[in-house]
Structure 1
């Protein structure tokens, strides 16, 4: 007579039982982050096939690969390892509930829990604006900083200052990898130098999981969103036609693809604000209300220690 799934693990193969428990935990953390398996594979540089085997308890567990996965998810490796049966049991009801939700609902549940239980607003260094070009980061960021009388910092300007080159020259001459190193260095310097700030980030920062995790740990993050048509119109109004040097329809297709690919990462921000079909004043009022708990603190000046 065949045994129920998992029954043959008990008392026969502790290694297999551990693999199942680790797999459940990896899957639970991934669900909390609102990431697909394909998305996690990209960020961790671990194959999607191995992730599928790991989550189903069928993989040969490698600490090296687990470390990559943990780093991509922004957790410690130990979070994947059950301490004892009692500790694991605490997670089972939540895990079972999460598994019944759609990916969209899983992300909403994660954000609700994170914002309710796991965010120390008093430790925040201010507000960081994320989103693609044309969403309104420069305009609204500058106005928000003026409202709360805090510095407005553009991360690209910090990168240019540190590297001694403008962004286009830096990427062209030294490549994306060097640019990303300066991007992380600029973020760390901003965290060290300012107690309170409104920070404008580049649209692709969210693709660098380590940098994005540090950003979310130290700032209240706001995703400024807009419809693809508004992104394109606003960038063209700024006089920058480089993204649309070829076919406009092809540029729009590319823009929509980028938005789709980055939506899950942008969605990890603390707050989302749609700027399409709204006046600057309306958007600013909502942004001011959202950021009020973070920016109405005493420490507003650059650090001098």
Structure 2
């Protein structure tokens, strides 16, 4: 789970643990969420650059669902024998309709790490297993060029398009620019930015000399560039990240060219897009082309 706090309070919590708030929507307790977007907006009275998100491991104990205002146990759930109160998403208890949890006993919470405002890709991928794109199964060939993707905020996308990438100082593969041939991977970042404010940059990447890093603790996991490699590649489904999606780290930003940003489509432009279908229908489409659906939210079409 996650808890948003100030830079100073984050240090205190990591040293001394949580102090439950005296009151709140769910009464006394420590307020947390499984939604990092929820946590990243707090505290509301702290400037964004001074906020921190604590990544937590929480043993929730016995849970009580509180799904409406004035629930009979809204603030008395602990007295009724529960350890955690849970507000489900989209129940109109909170603005933005994101889930919220209140844990009575701080000893149920363990701080794993602290994230700053910029959350670059790292080993703490929280998406859960997803099917990788087909291209990402093949190892990038040395000195080849690929279409790749990078997820970022709307503001940072404009900065990158003007000035180029600034490599992250560290991450699962050490310093570099983190990208992927799998758009699913890129589209979930940054986690501390609301979905409507994210952008996916479409890139042309010359990977140079590539090193495959396929397990945690690999001897070159963070030192591949010192051994003469230009890109580190984490293949899909190798156990390096829970999502099972491929990840690449490019040492030199000059190897990366931004071609476009996924946001509002521009009239008369061409884009790479995706269509989900069955195995059998995919073969039919490849042979015969698409047949428009007869109806849908936007009417007939593909």
Q: Same fold (TM over 0.5)?
A: no
Higher strand residue share? 2
Q: Which of structures 1 and 2 has the larger relative contact order (alpha carbons within 8 angstroms, sep 6+)?
A: 1
TM-score, normalization: structure 2?
A: 0.27
Would you tell me which structure has more helix in proportion to its own residues?
Answer: 1
